[in-house]
Amino acid sequence: MPRLSVLVRAPHEEKGLAACLQRLGFADELVVALDRRNGRQAEIALRFADRVVFAASATDSLTACGGDWIFEIGPDEMVGEALAEEIRFVVDSAITTNRFLVPVETYAGRRLIPDDRKDCAPGRWLYRRGAEQLSTDGWLINTLIRPVDVGRALNPRRLLDALRAALRAHLTLGATE
């Protein structure tokens, strides 16, 4: 039976890491890549992961994964039950597709934040070992959830600063034309 490794790259992020790792019990192996050995982040990773890789390059992180399939996610993302079941189905079936894009939905509290970027499809990858660089063969139906801190996402001061910067950029461009 094929094995699934979930790789969580968490170079600097502690917030949300425990919640993310708690939802990954469907994997055969959990690998966490960190920048440093000390701190609360390392304690959390060591509590949940089968393997923790410190100060690793992307190649080292992938090499640490022993599964036939690899699913890469960020430390601020959550796998729901439906997505976990779909991933297990893909890994356990005799499917010939090598690489899947897993869509990501970003939420502030319970509100879905729309992604207006039409030029790219936000997502994470589930792929068969060796298919890291191949083009996308398929898409999964269920989504990965990325909750954001409502206070940070909707901070009026940050919003005002962003609007001011956009206005300055617009006025500067208009002055040069």
Per-residue confidence (pLDDT) for residue 149, from 0 to 100:
46
Looking at the domain assignment, is residue 103 inside a domain? yes
Answer whether residue 170 is part of any domain.
no
d(CA 142, CA 79): 9
Q: How many domains would you assign to the chain?
A: 1
**Is the full-model pTM beyond 0.75?**
no
**b/e sequence 39-59, b meaning 16+ C-beta within 10 Å:** eebbebbeebbebbbeebeee
In a domain, 175, yes or no: no
8 in a domain, yes or no?
Answer: yes
> Is residue 34 in a domain?
yes
**Torsional sign, CA 41, 47, 49, 51:** positive
- Residue 11's CATH number: 3.90.550.10
> In the prediction, which pLDDT does 131 show?
75
- At 56 the pLDDT is 67
Q: Is residue 165, in this structure, part of any structural domain at all?
A: no
Looking at residue 21, its pLDDT comes to 93
Q: What is the pLDDT of residue 147?
A: 55
Q: Output the tens digit of pLDDT for each of the chain's 177 residues.
A: 899 999 998 877 677 889 899 999 999 999 999 887 767 888 999 999 999 998 767 788 888 999 999 999 888 888 888 889 989 998 998 788 888 888 777 776 677 776 654 444 456 888 888 776 655 555 555 555 555 544 444 445 554 555 566 556 555 544 444
Within-domain flag for 56: yes
Residue 172 lies in a domain: no
Q: Which domain holds residue 41?
A: 4-150
Do 3 and 27 contact (CB within 8 A), yes or no? no
Neighbour-count burial of 118, counting CB atoms closer than 10 A to its CB (0-12 exposed, 13-18 middle, 19+ buried) = exposed
Tokens of 119: 């030029």
Distance separating alpha carbons of residues 146 and 131, to the nearest angstrom: 25
What are residue 111's DSSP bridge partners?
Answer: 108
